[in-house]
C-alpha cells in the first residue's frame, strides 16, 4: 500500500483501485497470458456501456493482411474517430475496450472504429505501427465506401494506443492524408525514457517505471528499433503540419512527462494543442468511467474536441 502521505494525492475515487493493485504482481513480472486474462476479467466487472450504440465487426485491409476492427455507430454520425487501445502493445483488444468505445461514440456523435492491431510478443515492432498507418490510410481514403461517415476524421488512443495514434498522425502528414484531429490519452511517445516522471512516480500508482520500461523493450525498443525512429518514438519527428492535438494526461503517472513534453514539442512547431492533466489520477483512469468522475470528464472533453473539429472541417 502507498505511503499515507502519497496516498492522499490520489483521487479518492481511485484510491481503492490503487490500494488493491499493491497486492498484485506488477505487469513486468506477469506472464502475457495472465496479463491478458486479468484485463479481460477486469473489463467484465464494469458496466457494459450504452446498449443503444450499434456495433459491427469489420476487417481493415492492410498490406500485411486484414486487421480486425469494430465499428460503433451513434445516430446521425458527424465523422469518424479511429481508436487504438492501450495495453503495453501486448494486452487488450476489442472486447476489453468495448464499453469505452460505446461511451466515446455516444459522447462524440462520431462513428468510432476500434482497431485490433497486432500485439507483441507474437508481433513485435513495427507490426503495431504498420497496422496503425495502414488503418489511418483506410479510414481517410476508403472507410466511406463501406458507409462510415468520413467528412471529419480524427485518430486517438490511450497509452500504447496513444503512441500508435501519434504515429498514425505523423504518417498522415507525411502522406498528405487530410486528418482533422489527434486525441492522445497519456501517450507513450518518448522512447529515450528520460522523463523525470519515471522517477517521481516510479512505484505505487498502478503502473511502475519498471512496467513502462518492460513495455517498451517487449515491443522492440533497443532490439528492433532505436529511440530516434519516429515509428516507435513520435517525439523524435519534426511535427510541423501534423493534425491539431488534444492531449490528456494523468497527474500521478510515470508517463506524464511524455504528455507534457509532446504538447510542448507540437506547440513549438506551430501545431494547435489542447492539454489537460487530470489531478489525482493514475494511468488507466480513462477506462474507469464507471468509478471515476475524471474519466467521465475526459470522455466529454474528447466529445467536445471532435465535434469542434467537425465544425471546422
Q: What sign results for the dihedral spanned by CA atoms 121, 31, 195, 97? A: positive
Q: How confident is the model at residue 3 (pLDDT cuts 50, 70, 90)?
A: low
Cell 480486425 belongs to 68
Tell me the C-alpha distance between 276 and 259, whole Å. 9
Long-range contacts of 22-26 (CB under 8 A, 24+ apart): 22/204, 26/207, 26/208, 26/210, 26/211
Q: For the segment 215-250, what is each residue's pLDDT rounded down to a tens digit?
A: 999 999 999 999 999 999 999 999 999 999 999 999
Q: For the segment 106-144, what is each residue's pLDDT rounded down to a tens digit?
A: 999 999 999 999 999 999 999 999 999 999 999 999 999
Q: For the segment 160-169, what is each residue's pLDDT rounded down to a tens digit?
A: 999 999 999 9
Q: How confident is the model at residue 2 (pLDDT cuts 50, 70, 90)?
A: low
Reply yes or no on whether 229 is catalytic: no
Tally of structural domains, the chain: 1
Reply yes or no on whether 233 is catalytic: no
Contact between 231 and 167 (Cβ < 8 Å): yes
Query: Residues 114, 218, 265, 283: which is the catalytic one?
Result: 283
Helix axis angle for 127-141 and 160-174, nearest 10°, is: 60
How high is the pLDDT of residue 8? 85
- Expressed as residue numbers, the domain containing 50 is 4-312
Q: For the segment 144-153, what is each residue's pLDDT rounded down to a tens digit?
A: 999 999 999 9
Q: How confident is the model at residue 30 (pLDDT cuts 50, 70, 90)?
A: confident
- What CATH number does residue 195 fall under? 3.40.50.1820
Query: Residues 111, 116, 253, 258: which is the catalytic one?
Result: 253
Query: Residues 28, 159, 197, 292: which is the catalytic one?
Result: 159
Dihedral, CA of residue 98, residue 99, residue 103 and residue 109, to nearest 10: 30
Tell me the C-alpha distance between 49 and 2, whole Å. 31
Reply yes or no on whether 283 is catalytic: yes
- pLDDT at residue 38 tops 80: no
Terminal C-alpha separation, the chain:
48
**pLDDT over 90, % of the chain:** 83
Please classify residue 122 by burial: count the beta carbons closer than 10 Å to its beta carbon, then call 0-12 exposed, 13-18 middle and 19+ buried.
Answer: exposed
How high is the pLDDT of residue 49? 81
167: left (phi over 0), alpha (psi -120 to 50) or beta: alpha
- Phi first, then psi: give them for residue 93, nearest 5 degrees: 170, -165
Q: For the segment 175-227, what is each residue's pLDDT rounded down to a tens digit?
A: 999 999 999 999 999 999 999 999 999 988 989 999 999 999 999 999 999 99
- pLDDT at residue 63 tops 80: yes
- pLDDT at residue 44 tops 60: no
How high is the pLDDT of residue 19? 87
Amino acid at each position: 500500500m502507498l505511503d499515507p502521505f502519497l496516498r492522499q494525492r490520489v483521487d479518492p475515487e481511485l484510491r481503492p483501485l490503487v490500494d488493491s493493485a499493491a497486492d498484485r504482481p506488477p505487469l513486468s513480472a506477469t506472464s502475457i497470458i495472465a496479463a491478458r486474462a486479468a484485463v479481460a476479467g477486469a473489463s467484465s466487472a464494469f458496466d457494459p456501456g450504452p446498449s443503444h450504440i450499434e456495433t459491427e465487426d469489420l476487417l481493415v485491409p492492410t498490406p500485411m493482411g486484414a486487421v480486425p476492427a469494430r465499428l460503433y455507430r451513434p445516430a446521425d454520425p458527424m465523422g469518424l474517430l479511429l481508436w487504438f487501445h492501450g495495453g503495453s502493445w501486448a494486452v487488450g483488444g476489442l472486447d476489453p475496450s468495448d464499453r469505452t468505445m460505446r461511451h466515446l461514440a455516444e459522447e462524440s456523435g462520431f462513428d468510432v472504429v476500434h482497431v485490433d492491431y497486432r500485439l507483441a510478443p507474437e508481433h513485435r515492432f513495427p507490426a503495431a505501427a504498420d497496422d496503425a498507418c495502414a488503418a489511418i490510410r483506410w479510414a481517410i481514403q476508403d472507410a466511406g465506401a463501406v458507409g462510415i461517415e468520413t467528412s471529419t476524421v480524427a485518430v486517438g488512443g490511450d497509452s500504447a494506443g496513444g503512441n500508435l495514434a501519434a504515429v498514425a498522425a505523423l504518417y498522415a502528414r507525411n502522406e498528405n492524408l487530410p486528418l482533422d484531429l489527434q486525441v492522445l490519452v497519456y501517450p507513450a511517445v518518448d522512447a529515450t525514457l528520460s522523463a523525470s516522471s519515471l522517477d517521481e512516480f516510479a512505484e505505487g500508482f498502478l503502473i511502475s517505471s519498471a512496467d513502462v520500461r518492460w513495455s517498451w523493450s517487449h515491443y522492440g525498443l533497443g532490439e528492433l528499433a532505436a529511440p530516434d525512429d519516429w515509428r516507435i518514438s513520435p517525439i523524435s519527428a519534426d511535427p510541423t503540419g501534423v493534425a491539431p492535438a488534444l492531449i490528456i494526461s494523468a497527474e500521478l503517472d510515470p508517463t506524464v512527462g511524455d504528455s507534457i513534453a509532446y504538447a510542448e514539442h507540437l506547440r513549438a512547431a506551430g501545431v494547435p494543442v489542447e492539454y489537460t492533466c487530470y489531478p489525482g489520477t493514475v494511468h488507466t483512469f480513462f477506462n474507469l468511467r464507471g468509478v471515476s468522475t475524471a474519466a467521465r470528464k475526459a470522455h466529454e472533453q474528447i466529445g467536445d474536441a471532435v465535434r469542434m473539429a467537425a465544425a471546422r472541417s
